[in-house]
Amino acid sequence: MSAEEPPSGPVPAPEYPPLDDAALLAAAGGSPAPPDPDAPGTTPGIGDAGAGGDGLSWEDSYAGAGAAPLDAGAMAEGGLGGDALPWTEEPAEARIAPADAGASEEEDLAAYPPVVALLVTRNPGEWFEETLRSLDEQDYADLTVLVVDCSSDEDPTARVAEVLPRAFVRRVETGKGGFATAANEALAMVEGAPFLFFCHDDVTLDAAAVRIMVEEAYRSNAAILGPKLVSGDNPEILLEVGRAIDRFGAPYTGIEPGEIDQEQHDGVRDVFYVPTAAMLVRTDLFTELDGFDPETFPGAEDLDLCWRARLAGARVLVVPDARVAHHEASASRARADRPNESAIVHSRVRTVLACSSLVNLIWLVPFGIVVSFFEFFGNLVTGHPRRARAAIVGWWSNLLHPGSVRKARKHAQRLRTVHDSDLRELQISTLARVNAFVAHHLHTDGRLRDLGDVSRNAVDSVSDGMRAPATIAFLVFLGLVLVGSRDLLSHGVPAIGTFGSWPSVSSAFDAFGSAWRYTGLGSASAQPPAFVVIGGLGTVFLGAIGLARTLFVVLALPLGAIGMYRLSRRIIVLRAPAFAAAIAYGVNPVARNSIAEGRLGPLVLFALLPFLVVRLVRLAEGDEHQGEARKGRLLRLALLVALLTAFYPLGLGIFLAVGALMLLAVPLTWGGRVGVRAFGMSAAAALLALVMLFPWPLAYANGSGKLAALGFDFRPSLTLSQVMRFDSGPATATWIMWGFVFAAAVPLFLATGDRLAWAARGWVLALAGWAAVWVPSTFFPHVSVPAPEAGLTVAALGLSLALGIGVSVLVDGMREMKFGWRQPAAILGAVAVLLPVLGFTADVVDGRWGAPSTAYTTDLAFTQALAARGQFRMLWLGDPTVLPLEPVVLDGGVGYTLTRNGPGDVTQQWRAPEHDADAVLADAIGLAEAGLTNRLGRMLAPMGIRYVVLPTGQGKDGGAHAQVPAVLRRAVDDQLDLAQLRTDSGVTLYENLAYAPILSVVPAGTDVPVNSKAPNIAALGTDVANATPVVGTVARTGTLLWGEAHDSAWEATVGRTLRHTAAFGWANGYPVDRKGAVTVEYTKQWQRWAFLGVMALIWLIVLLRWRHTRVRRDPALRAADRERRRREREDDPFSGVVDDESFYWERV
Amino acid sequence: MTPDDVTPEADATPEADATPATDAATLDTSRARGRRRGARRRPPRLPILLIVIAAIVAAAVYQGRDTTSTANSAGATDVAALAAVGVPPSAAVSTSWFCAEGTSNDGGRADETILVGNVSKSEVRATITVMPGGDAKPVSRELTVAPGAEARVKVASILATAEPGVVVEAVGGRAVVSHSLEHNGDLAVEPCSRTTSSSWYFAAGTTVKGSEHYLVLFNPFGDDAIADVSFITDTGVQQPDNVQGLVIPRRSRVSVAVHDLVPRQERVATAVHLRAGRVVAERDQIFDGTAPDSGPTRTGIAVSLGATATARQWVIPAGTSTNGATSTVAVANYSNLDTEAEVAILLPDGQTASPQSVKVASRQVVNVDFTNRVPVDSPYSVVVRSRSAEGATEPVVAESLSWWPASSPTTGVASTLGPGRAARRWVVLLPDVDADAVLTVTNTGTKPVTAALLPASQIDRATGPTSEPERAVAVNSITSFTVLNLRTSRGALVITADHPVYVGLTVLGAAGASTSAAFPDYEYTGK
């Protein structure tokens, strides 16, 4: 129980007149029923009634009264019918009154006051008959059923007649008053019945429900009573036992979602109000209150009635012994019949404004408005725009109509006999507003149920596992991750490699929406969808995008371990071996190296690959989920693949490769069906992911085939030993890493059956991952391949899985309790696993996993300030392993990266597929590298390249290091127009003295070559160093040079549209013959909007499919499962000793 | 928190939450299940083991055999370093040549003329830029050189300045550039450099009475360079403060008067190391005919382009004993260990001269006078190899220095360092002076060589008439082609051979004397 319980202590004594014999007899013409001798003690009201003399005792009231209550017999004679009840529809068997049932029952019937049940219905569903049947089966003898139909599309009379032929049916036009208006019909139609029982058409009453409530009404002198509501779908689930409200009228039940009814709330008690789903009301009170206020429908008619009753001194009770199952069928009704959320809030606020005292309103109104704004933003963030709107509209629609509120107040306050403070104990505190908000907003669609279940499961799991050594080990691992990341958390992740700094949220979204990609020399290809994720994360973190980036990187390590745990639990099942596999994966150097050297793609792969594989395995193995559920699983797998691909395009191929490897392993593992399905599902998921990423994949489809844009940027030189030890970076991966390999080999010798098959699959993954790194490194050293951490991640996953299986096998041996070779093998295995863990622990010391304390990109950030005097680019040259962002690798192995207006950020990270202009740059670098020119600067000048950077590392005190190839260093040093500005141990910076700003005007005296077939030769002979930057206006005539890749959609205007030429054969040039304001714009932005529209449509379909295929576990099953686990824990003598291994072995 | 806490997907829960008992029953174990199902196939253990073990062992075995290293790339780097004066590759889109020494002002110490030769089949557009240094702006002149032709431009015609650093940029073809310096009736011709370096070495030089010794450092780049200069002299290594941290401003040159820094030294070898930047270094040796305290009296000018690295073998393919020349070679040992140097004289027609070994102590320079070992009026080449019986083969720098006495028909001095590497084709630029030229072809290989001389306009001609008959060159021998009266010569010359050789140029006549290396064309393979 986490929420606040409504007070159950004494409540103010009601001041409303008790039910006395006179009133009763006057109303009913009979006597109250005698008290149940087994009933609980009488309440003070009852005592008063019995002893006070004003009222009659139970026996006095009914004994020998002989008077027939107001019953259907009277109706049959026209007492309720005739002129007083102008039935529009003739009730089936309407004239057959219960009084005619037989004289033998007369005495019993006379013992009870008559009750008229008002069943209000509109377009009832299939549950309707059940409701009628439950009314028919009431053991309350004098119960007359009146069905009030609120303009249903189909007349329900026939359905009523079939089940309840004695009932009356009245069809009314309720207008916007709905239930309230329909229920108020009773004021005019019912005479003589002391009680009215209102109910919905989707409830099923226990047979004694009405009787118990009537008895309690007398016993407790209550005016309004409600039963215990349980779920119609699963009567074990408790829905409500009365309601409380907070100061702002938000309802609160105190019942946890999915809470099992264990009679824990079965005590008669005062509540603030009871819902109209089933409500017994004294007729005299109902009449005095003028019934329901139609203006409070929907959503608050019950609250309003009860509140006004409270103000009049009446008691409102919940009687849990009376049980009613509620189907909560509103969601199943037609849209038009569902309550409008704004109207609900409006009603609630109206009730608060009408029923609260004036003094209270002085502070309630301003606070309520403030709270409504919090609700507004809270609902917006949680994705409930309608509720957000309702939060605002609810207050303002009332405040802007003071006349209506004043009238309601007058009506409510006229009977006031109770001070507000007397009701406070029935309300929850103002501080519980947040809880009420969560309950109000999440509970309604079952979210809170899930949340509660997940939380409880989590707590259960933690309490289960906290006692296990494996869990403690995992917690230690998480602690080490935290300590090892402390510098990253406190100072941020350095902008090294593909850990490019993230721009502001708006910049990320701007970049995504732009039709032109400002990466490299520019491209019209689609923007990477990762920008949306980045922008979204920044939004979630309220603009603290640096924090989002840091957590994105740091949490990848434990997330990967958690994913590995889930995968292992799926395959190995046992918890301890799964923990071992997770820790083996988590401490694998591949993740630390990815962090140390800024490999974002492999790091995301590390985090997501286990989740992908576990989902793939489920799809491949599981045949229990078919149809929509299976499609849903595939959809969610595709979503994960899309997320991976968004950050690491190559990840799609790696995922496909994993699926193919599952198929490839079939000859070793059998299970051909699983292999084929795994491959098929991976292909389907990959295809779906591509669709989700539309239009980004089109960019690659139209590309020139260069793989640099896909992450083929590296030429690692690693020996077999290094590869198998995962020694691709600064992380500790010495000989101790052999421990993992040996431990992972154990199941190949010892495991049997499925374990052996999965060990084999793990080894296939490991061998393939290693081979993906070692083979190109050894046989194709001059071919660019993905970062080694990518292949090693696959190997790490396979090896960790095999290791986990090995642990499970050794645990088998330990359990045999017979000394043999398994025991020493287990000890050796433990040592073998422990050694790499020590390596991991050693890496914790520096607090940043070997990443630099300061990135050189940060050191060179001063250049950003220069952009105000003309946009420029920076050319980073050197070994691809130390270059920022996603470099292009030339044939000779030299890599290059272009950044814009400084060291660049993540919006320039994912390269566009190679453009013709990119080839010009690559050619220029190649010419310089080969010593074929000393004028690289001039070739780079039209590209706006102002700085050339040659790094030998990624930053200070960490990261990757690699010497600049001597030939390249010499070549750059030989360039006449590159001036060395700065040299330190890690980076050399040159300034291009021949550069022209990206947007500049080349003066008229200099001819800018047009449509050149040899752009670099053309640039070589053209000195554009005298070009002046353009910031808003053109101050001289000449040629406007726009150093982006030539595209016909670029349009420049200076008073009029300028003629567009292909300057230098690749850039954009515009002859300018006048001075003035200049605009340069890309005229095909609409295409991007169109693509985004298609993209939005795709995602809308995805989301709809998501909802459609969502598999929600039955809350009852969850609760039962939770309870079962709790009992198992209590009953299991091994609990807390050896974790669930004992659980397992006791049963297998 | 444990991993169980994380259940990202609702649909993932059923499996994740499945009790161990239930799922374990499904997993465990193949034996029980095998008995139950019978027909289910068990994974074959042996093939799995075989494949895993075989894959790892095979990779390990291959890895053990793989001993390749990056030696090839290192070798390529050396080649690049030695190609400072080579003919640019045909793929070059632009070539820059840097001519450090020379003056263009009245009364300057070395009137400079730029020689541009075009050895391609298309016109070459060249831009000669004279950088006066300081705040003065460089001045450029463009010229077009026809295929096979040679253009000569006096620097003074572009800009008259005392310290002109000259950059010649050629666009559109293969061009070679050298410069000739004239001083007091003597001539010095030396190729300009196509590259810059952070280290430069010279071996010969003197600051005896009557001599001026200039070290010229030219920085053609946009950023300043800082150099440290040291000298190996008779009295040991000297590092004058004036030339430590010497700043060579961007786009300018600095002339260091060595004779003022280390005066009256018979032997002066010079080393330049750059702290920052890169430069081109030439050394200018001028004799005014004043008799020194001891030794010969000399008149004339000699200029040498420095070496960017020390080496264990030097071939200086230019020299002649004609007109009573005195021939010497200076061997400087910049290393920390003593070494021995073998000085071999290669002569034409299979004549032999016994090699001479000299000991060169660490950080010392030795002058070897081999005049008496060369026949009269004979061209020669000098080969210096560093070797030691004790196993120390430290790299050295060798530089020839020759002079002709005043009594000779030719008066002057000449010096040069050898080219870095043999080539099968060489290009020679000839100055327009009153003198003859001797082109010496040196074969230090293991096979006899046939060499031919062609005008540069016929550079790609494989067969046909030549200006001179083809010459056979025996192993460890030389041959020479003589070009008479350079005043009548037009265009560059090309010498091709069927095996790699060294080619040098000796200019001798009324205009003075000069020795220099030709331009090797390493791209030419004879195919």
Residue type, A1048: S
What confidence tier does A722 reach under pLDDT thresholds 50, 70, 90?
Answer: very high
**How deeply is A1110 buried, as exposed, middle or buried, from its count of CB atoms within 10 A (0-12, 13-18, 19+)?**
middle
Closest CA in chain B for residue A718: B63
pLDDT of A62 above 70: no
Q: How far apart are CA B312 and CA B298, in angstroms?
A: 30
- Taking phi first (over 0 means left), then psi (-120 to 50 degrees means alpha), and beta for anything else, what does residue A468 get? beta
Min Cα separation A1125/chain B (Å)? 9
The answer to whether B369 contacts chain A (CB < 8 Å) is: no
Go through A1022-1042 and write b for each residue having 16 or more CB atoms within 10 A of its CB, e for each that does not: bbbbebbbbeeebeeebbbbb
Taking one residue from A and the other from B, the number of pairs with CB-CB distance under 8 angstroms is: 211
CB A180 within 8 A of CB A291: yes
In this structure, of A337-341, A543-547, A734-738, B366-370, the range with the lowest mean pLDDT score is A337-341
Which of A306, A407, A410, A427 is closest to A364 using CA atoms? Answer: A427
- What confidence score (pLDDT) does residue B490 get? 74
What average pLDDT does the segment A261-285 reach?
A: 85
Q: How far apart are CA B111 and CA A457, in angstroms?
A: 94
* A298 CB-near residues (< 8 Å, 6+ apart): A178, A179, A339, A340, A343, A344, A347
3-state secondary structure (DSSP) of residue A842: helix
Q: How far apart are CA A592 and CA B356, in angstroms?
A: 63
- What confidence score (pLDDT) does residue A1079 get? 92
Closest CA in chain B for residue A1145: B21
pLDDT of A564 above 90: yes
pLDDT digits (tens, 9 = 90+) for B159-197: 999 999 999 999 877 899 999 999 988 999 999 998 899
Per-window interface: B 148-167 vs A, CB < 8 A: 167
CB A619 within 8 A of CB B40: no
| A636–B11 C-beta distance less than 8 A | yes
What confidence tier does B438 reach under pLDDT thresholds 50, 70, 90?
Answer: very high
What confidence tier does A819 reach under pLDDT thresholds 50, 70, 90?
Answer: low
The answer to whether B13 contacts chain A (CB < 8 Å) is: yes
Q: How far apart are CA B358 and CA B339, in angstroms?
A: 9
pLDDT of A177 above 70: no
Q: How far apart are CA B232 and CA B366, in angstroms?
A: 10
- What confidence score (pLDDT) does residue A698 get? 84
Which of B193, B408, B428 is closest to B296 using CA atoms? Answer: B408
Q: Is the peptide bond before A695 cis (omega within 30 degrees of 0)?
A: yes
- What confidence score (pLDDT) does residue A585 get? 94
Distance separating the N- and C-terminal Cα atoms of chain A: 36
- Mean pLDDT: which of A11-15, A560-564, A731-735 is highest? A560-564
Residues of B in contact with A977 (CB under 8 A): 222
- What confidence score (pLDDT) does residue B342 get? 93
CB-nearest to B222 from A465, A927, A977 is A977
Min Cα separation A238/chain B (Å)? 22
What average pLDDT does the segment A1134-1144 reach?
A: 40
What confidence tier does A625 reach under pLDDT thresholds 50, 70, 90?
Answer: low
**What is the rounded average pLDDT for all residues in chain A?**
79
Which of B289, B221, B284, B294 is closest to B255 using CA atoms? Answer: B284
- What confidence score (pLDDT) does residue B202 get? 95
In this structure, of A473-482, A648-657, A683-692, A1130-1139, the range with the lowest mean pLDDT score is A1130-1139
Rounded to the nearest angstrom, the gap between the alpha carbon of residue B43 and the centroid of all alpha carbons in its chain is 67
Q: Is the peptide bond before B220 cis (omega within 30 degrees of 0)?
A: no
Q: How far apart are CA A1078 and CA B406, in angstroms?
A: 74
The answer to whether B242 contacts chain A (CB < 8 Å) is: no
Min Cα separation A603/chain B (Å)? 19
Would you state the structure tokens that stand for residue B108, as one six-digit string?
Answer: 């300057």
CB-nearest to A462 from B1, B56, B83 is B1
| A461–B28 C-beta distance less than 8 A | no
Closest CA in chain A for residue B90: A932
CB B356 within 8 A of CB B370: yes
Which of B431, B435, B402 is closest to B416 using CA atoms? Answer: B402
| A721–B221 C-beta distance less than 8 A | no
CB-CB neighbours of A938 under 10 Å: 28
Closest CA in chain A for residue B60: A720
What confidence tier does B237 reach under pLDDT thresholds 50, 70, 90?
Answer: very high
- Taking phi first (over 0 means left), then psi (-120 to 50 degrees means alpha), and beta for anything else, what does residue A354 get? alpha
pLDDT digits (tens, 9 = 90+) for A227-268: 988 888 888 888 888 888 877 777 777 777 777 887 777 788
**In this structure, is the dihedral angle defined by the CA atoms of residues A1136, A1139, A1141 and A1146, taken in order, positive or negative?**
positive
pLDDT of A567 above 70: yes
The answer to whether B12 contacts chain A (CB < 8 Å) is: yes
What confidence tier does B10 reach under pLDDT thresholds 50, 70, 90?
Answer: very low
- What confidence score (pLDDT) does residue A849 get? 93
Question: Can you give the three-state secondary structure of A919-959, one letter per residue?
Answer: HHHHHHHHHHHCCCCCCHHHHHHHHCEEEEEEECEEEECEE
In this structure, of A295-299, A579-583, B26-30, B159-163, the range with the lowest mean pLDDT score is B26-30
Residue type, A956: K
Using DSSP bridges, classify how beta strands A945-951 and A873-878 pair: parallel, antiparallel or unpaired.
parallel
Per-window interface: B 36-55 vs A, CB < 8 A: 41-45, 47-49, 51-52, 55
- What confidence score (pLDDT) does residue A1083 get? 94
What confidence tier does B508 reach under pLDDT thresholds 50, 70, 90?
Answer: very high
Q: Who has greater pLDDT, A9 or A126? A: A126
CB A867 within 8 A of CB A860: no
Q: How far apart are CA B342 and CA B313, in angstroms?
A: 9
- Structure pTM? 0.69
CB-CB neighbours of B180 under 10 Å: 28
| A461–B4 C-beta distance less than 8 A | yes
pLDDT of B3 above 50: no
CB-nearest to B43 from A465, A757, A1111 is A757
The answer to whether B484 contacts chain A (CB < 8 Å) is: no
* A920 CB-near residues (< 8 Å, 6+ apart): A521, A943, A1015, A1016, A1064, A1065, A1066
What confidence tier does A101 reach under pLDDT thresholds 50, 70, 90?
Answer: very low
In this structure, of A147-161, A845-859, B339-353, the range with the lowest mean pLDDT score is A147-161
- What confidence score (pLDDT) does residue A124 get? 79
pLDDT of A1123 above 50: yes
What average pLDDT does the segment A738-753 reach?
A: 86
| A753–B31 C-beta distance less than 8 A | yes
pLDDT of A1143 above 60: no
Q: How far apart are CA B313 and CA B234, in angstroms?
A: 24
What average pLDDT does the segment B83-109 reach?
A: 88
- What confidence score (pLDDT) does residue A355 get? 85
| B43–A574 C-beta distance less than 8 A | no
- What confidence score (pLDDT) does residue A105 get? 44
Which of B29, B41, B45, B48 to substitute to test the interface with A, most A CBs within 10 Å? B48
CB B130 within 8 A of CB B103: no
What confidence tier does A1141 reach under pLDDT thresholds 50, 70, 90?
Answer: very low
Q: How far apart are CA B213 and CA B234, in angstroms?
A: 15
- What confidence score (pLDDT) does residue A508 get? 92
| A976–B96 C-beta distance less than 8 A | yes
Which of A1025, A1095, A1012, A201 is closest to A697 using CA atoms? Answer: A1095
Residue type, A784: S
| B3–A561 C-beta distance less than 8 A | yes
CB A228 within 8 A of CB A268: no
CB B173 within 8 A of CB B155: no
pLDDT of B20 above 50: no
Residues of B in contact with A611 (CB under 8 A): 8
Q: Who has greater pLDDT, A474 or B439? A: B439
How far is residue A349 from each of residues A180, A448, A836, A847, measured CA to CA in Å?
A: 17, 24, 63, 54
pLDDT digits (tens, 9 = 90+) for A512-534: 999 999 988 998 888 999 999 99
Using DSSP bridges, classify how beta strands A1056-1057 and A1050-1054 pair: parallel, antiparallel or unpaired.
antiparallel
In this structure, of A421-435, A829-843, A905-919, the range with the lowest mean pLDDT score is A421-435
pLDDT digits (tens, 9 = 90+) for A435-456: 545 544 444 444 444 544 554 5
Residues of B in contact with A570 (CB under 8 A): 15-16
The answer to whether B174 contacts chain A (CB < 8 Å) is: no
In this structure, of A163-177, A242-256, A438-452, A1033-1047, the range with the lowest mean pLDDT score is A438-452
- What confidence score (pLDDT) does residue A627 get? 61
- As for the ipTM of the complex, it is 0.81
CB B413 within 8 A of CB B186: yes
CB A451 within 8 A of CB A445: no
- What confidence score (pLDDT) does residue A654 get? 95
| B222–A934 C-beta distance less than 8 A | no
Q: Who has greater pLDDT, A208 or A1080? A: A1080
What confidence tier does B217 reach under pLDDT thresholds 50, 70, 90?
Answer: very high
**H helices within A400-445, ranges in order?**
402-413, 420-423, 433-442
What average pLDDT does the segment A299-325 reach?
A: 87
- Taking phi first (over 0 means left), then psi (-120 to 50 degrees means alpha), and beta for anything else, what does residue B412 get? left
Would you state the structure tokens that stand for residue A14, as one six-digit string?
Answer: 């009601």
Min Cα separation A466/chain B (Å)? 8
What confidence tier does A330 reach under pLDDT thresholds 50, 70, 90?
Answer: low
3-state secondary structure (DSSP) of residue A908: helix
Min Cα separation B14/chain A (Å)? 8
Using DSSP bridges, classify how beta strands A888-889 and A895-900 pair: parallel, antiparallel or unpaired.
antiparallel
